[in-house]
Amino acid sequence: MTGYYRSDTKTGGTIDARKVTHNEALYLFGVRLDSLIDEVKPDLLLVEDYSYSANTRSTTTLGEIRGVFAYVAVGKGIEFVTVPVQTWKARTIGK
C-alpha cells in the first residue's frame, strides 16, 4: 500500500495493491499518478525521500516506486523534488 497527498485540497489517498501482483501494483501506481497529474496539472511534484530500513525488500520496493514516479513525472515534463522524511511528515500530518 502506498499513499499520496494533494496540497491544493489538503486531501490524499492510498493505492491498495495487496490483492494484485507486485508488478501490477507498480503499474497501478503509475496509472494513478498519471491521472492525478492530468487532473491537477501541477508545476512541481514533491516525493518523500527514502526511509531506509533493515528490511531490504522494503527498500527495494521504495526504489521501484520512486522509479515509476520519476518515469511518469519526467514523461509529463513535470519537475520533482525530493523532500526529507521528517520534513514531509511535519508538513503533511504535523508530526
Place of cell 531506509: 52
Given a cut of 60, is residue 65 above it in pLDDT? yes
pLDDT tens track for 8-39: 787 777 777 778 888 998 998 899 899 989 98
* pTM across the whole model: 0.74
State the burial class of residue 23 (Cβ atoms within 10 Å of its Cβ: 0-12, 13-18, 19+). exposed
Given a cut of 60, is residue 93 above it in pLDDT? yes
Q: Name the strand (E) or helix (H) holding 47.
A: strand 44-48
Number of H helices, E strands in the chain: 3, 4
